[in-house]
């Protein structure tokens, strides 16, 4: 299942039971209790401050944890720092302050009309007049 349908199912849920790493991250952002059926966590932060609880693979433990969450004893959790949906803006801000190196960067050829119609740099006035740049990350 892709991201948007997954979000649509998870958002109104009282609890999500999964072993999917992506779903574990989404439930943390949605503040939906997540019971994870695996022994470890790829994103330990979602266990430490998020809504995820590791249940492992033991069916009795899974049921006990699920009943507890459904009875209102789920972790309230918090959204991890910088999981606020503004990552792209922070990336553009950092990249816009980097000097362009012609030998390492390739300019995309975009017409002025196309550039203005898409305006992915809205909110960054200095970038709206530049051509998009694609290439290596700054060192």
Q: Render pLDDT for 85-124 as a digit per residue (tens, 0 to 9).
A: 888 999 999 988 887 765 455 555 666 666 566 555 455 5
Nearest to 19, CA basis, from 1, 3, 35, 2? 35
Which pLDDT score, from 0 to 100, does residue 50 have? Answer: 76
CA separation (Å) from 69 to 8, 34, 50, 76? 20, 9, 14, 10
DSSP string, the chain: --HHHHHHHHTT-S-EEE--HHHHHHHHHHT--EEE-SSS-SSHHHHHTSSEEE-TT-HHHHHHHHHHIIIII-----PPTT-SS-HHHHHHHHHHTSPP-TTTEEE----HHHHHHH-TTTT-TTTTTSPPEEEPPP-
Alpha carbons 63 and 69: distance in angstroms, whole number: 10
Which pLDDT score, from 0 to 100, does residue 20 have? Answer: 79
pLDDT band at 12 (very low <50, low <70, confident <90, very high): very high
Q: Between 138 and 41, whose confidence is greater? A: 41
Q: Are 38 and 20 in contact (CB under 8 A)?
A: no
What's the token pair of residue 125? 């006035």
CA 129 to chain centre: 29
- Per-domain boundaries in the chain: 3-73, 87-135
Q: What is the pLDDT of residues 31-58, one digit of tens each?
A: 888 888 888 777 777 788 878 888 888 9
Q: Between 102 and 138, whose confidence is greater? A: 102
Q: Which CATH number fits domain 3-73: 3.20.10.10, 3.40.50.720, 3.40.50.2000, 3.40.50.170?
A: 3.40.50.2000
Q: What is the pLDDT of residues 55-94, one digit of tens each?
A: 888 999 999 999 998 998 887 788 878 888 888 999 999 9
């Amino acid at each position: 299942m892709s991201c948007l349908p997954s979000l649509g199912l998870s958002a109104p849920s009282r609890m999500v039971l999964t072993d999917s790493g992506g779903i574990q991250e989404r439930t943390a952002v949605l503040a939906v209790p997540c019971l994870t059926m695996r022994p470890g966590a790829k994103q330990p932060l979602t266990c430490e401050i998020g809504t995820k609880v590791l249940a492992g693979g033991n069916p009795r433990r899974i049921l006990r944890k699920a009943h507890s969450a459904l009875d209102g004893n789920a972790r309230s959790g918090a959204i991890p720092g910088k999981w606020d949906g503004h990552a792209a803006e922070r990336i553009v801000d950092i990249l816009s302050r980097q000097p362009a190196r012609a030998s390492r960067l390739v300019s995309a050829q975009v017409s002025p009309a196309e550039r203005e119609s898409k305006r992915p740099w809205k909110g960054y006035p200095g970038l709206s007049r530049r051509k998009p740049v694609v290439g290596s990350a700054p060192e």
